[in-house]
Amino acid sequence: MQYKQLTSEEINRRIRLRKKRRIARRKRRRRFISLLFFLILICSILLIRSCNNDFKAKTENNTSLKPSLSKDRFTVCIDAGHGEYDNGTYNENLDVYEKDIALDVSLKIGQILENQDINILYTRKDDTTPWKSQPDSLKGRCDISNNNNADIFVSIHCNYYDDSPKVRGSEVWCRFKDTEDEKLAKFISNNLTMINFTENRGLKYESEKKLFVLKNTNATSVLIELGYLSNNKDTKYLKSLEGKNKCARAISEAIIKYKDLINEDEQKL
């Protein structure tokens, strides 16, 4: 086999060709590394965002944040259900509207708590509301609590059952078990039971019925059904001055107990 002797020009051409190929390989390697780095960066961002969303969802759906006493004053938002054009439930025999009982008890709760140097927010203080529809009313009540960074949101209502006037009792609603909401709800339920004016129907949860004001407030939130206006015994008691005073006292003392518990927990830290 004979080998062709290369001229110096051909040798230089081959050297230049090899050099170009090396440069091309380096460029491809750099592009690959840059692309790989970019993909890793994008994946990292998406992973962090996903983790943040998961944490936010768990916080919103399964837990309630514990209030802190480190700010200036502990704040409670008291929501007297219904009002003005929205009467709520009605006992025709005794001529009693839910909106009136809810307002009277709410104002009494506020007076008791204010004497304990607790800051009080009211969603309404009389039989007028700034909202002209139920959806706006529900959202507006939540906004009052959220915009003022309330620690606790308590909504006062009365119940009604069309099928039987014999059904009676108090209920306290919260979203989920094992939350700050449930802790407060238990205190209130226990205190209402000690008045012994009606049956204790226990705690109720979102799995039984979704309630807008509980789902859309940032504070530790409960909704209280004081009794059934479809039942005359419950209605007579809730209509009476004694009944309103005792219910307000029971709820207020439960809120104070919950506040004191938070204070004890913070002192341990």
Residue ranges of the domains in the chain?
1-62, 75-268
Per-residue pLDDT at 29: 77
Secondary structure (3-state) at 140? helix
Q: What is the CATH number of domain 75-268?
A: 3.40.630.40
User: How high is the pLDDT of residue 62?
Assistant: 44
The pLDDT of residue 58: 39
pLDDT at 61: 45
What is the rounded average pLDDT for all residues in the chain? 88
Buried b (16+ CB within 10 A) or exposed e, 156-188: bbbbbeeeebebbbbbbbbbeeebbbbbbbbbb
Q: What phi, psi does 126 have (nearest 5°)? A: -155, -170
Mean pLDDT calculated for residue range 49-59: 50
pTM of the model: 0.76
CA distance 259 to 138: 26
What span, in angstroms and rounded, lies between the C-alpha atoms of 151 and 68?
A: 8
Q: What is the pLDDT of residues 70-86, one digit of tens each?
A: 567 899 999 999 999 99
**Distance from C-alpha of 87 to C-alpha of 7, rounded to nearest angstrom:** 106
Please choose, from the candidates 141, 153, 158, the residue with its C-alpha nearest in 3D space to the C-alpha of residue 104: 158
Instruction: For residue range 10-52, list pLDDT tens digits in order.
Output: 666 667 777 777 777 777 777 777 777 777 878 777 776 755 5
Range 185-195 average pLDDT: 98
How far is it, in rounded angstroms, from Cα 36 to Cα 53? 26
What's the pLDDT at 56? 46
Residue 3 in this model has a pLDDT that exceeds 90: no
Amino acid at the residue 114: E
Residue 71 pLDDT: 61
Between 173 and 51, whose confidence is greater?
173
Question: Regarding predicted confidence, which is higher, 221 or 40?
Answer: 221
